[in-house]
């Protein structure tokens, strides 16, 4: 009887540790994004973004988001870069489906320096059994503040994610 109780306690403890292993220590992503920056004229900038996220625990992570975008609507073309940082809140209760939301603050550079801020979210769909690879569609509101004015935009993107390490 004593062995059965010990075995039951061991399974309970190891089951909890196994559940904690579903959270990666960090993830890296690389993806394609589009920013709608002039709604009246239908102008869109296309480019890519990359993120690095360090997961503090199962639901909280610190993320850095870096993007480069280009549009040819303005001669000879406009190139812009963004760099933003902030918290990411994830809901990791399913094996293959992880919704998240994030709030970002940083800067943008496109001839002039601007304050960049945003909020949005998406879903990570796990692609493999070990949970190392995922695809992440997301949508976010972005704002850029420069020269006393604010530009409100929408960023839509999809990224491939590599997850590394395990958070216990």
- Spell out the domains of the chain, with CATH numbers in brackets: 2-164 (2.40.160.20)
Burial 85-124 (b: 16+ CB within 10 A, else e): ebebebebeeeeebebebbbebbbeeeeebebbbebbbeb
The C-alpha atoms of residue 65 and residue 106 are separated, in whole angstroms, by 9
Give the DSSP letter of residue 70.
E
- Tokens at 6, concatenated: 């010990």
Residue 121 has pLDDT above 70, yes or no: yes
Residue 17 has pLDDT above 50, yes or no: no
- Tokens at 120, concatenated: 């949005």
pLDDT in tens, 39-89: 555 678 899 999 999 999 989 999 999 999 988 766 566 678 999 999 999
Residue 23 has pLDDT above 50, yes or no: yes
- Mean per-residue pLDDT of the chain: 84
Task: Give me the mean pLDDT over the 92-108 stretch.
Answer: 92
**Residues of the chain with pLDDT > 70: what percent?**
79
pLDDT at 79: 79
Residue 19 has pLDDT above 50, yes or no: no
């Amino acid at each position: 009887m004593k062995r059965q109780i010990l075995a039951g306690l061991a399974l309970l403890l190891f089951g909890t540790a196994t559940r904690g292993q579903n959270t990666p220590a960090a993830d890296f992503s690389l993806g394609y994004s589009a920013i709608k920056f002039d709604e009246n004229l239908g102008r869109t900038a296309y480019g890519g973004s990359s993120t690095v996220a360090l997961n503090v625990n199962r639901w909280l992570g610190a993320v850095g988001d870096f993007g480069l975008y280009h549009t040819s609507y303005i001669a000879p073309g406009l190139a812009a870069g963004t760099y933003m940082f902030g918290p990411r809140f994830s809901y990791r209760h399913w094996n293959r489906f992880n919704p998240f939301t994030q709030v970002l603050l940083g800067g943008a550079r496109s001839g002039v320096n601007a304050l960049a801020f945003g909020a949005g979210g998406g879903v990570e769909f796990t692609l493999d059994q070990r949970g190392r690879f995922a695809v992440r569609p997301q949508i976010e509101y972005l704002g850029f503040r420069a020269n006393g004015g604010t530009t409100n935009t929408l960023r839509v993107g999809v990224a491939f994610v590599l997850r590394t390490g395990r958070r216990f």
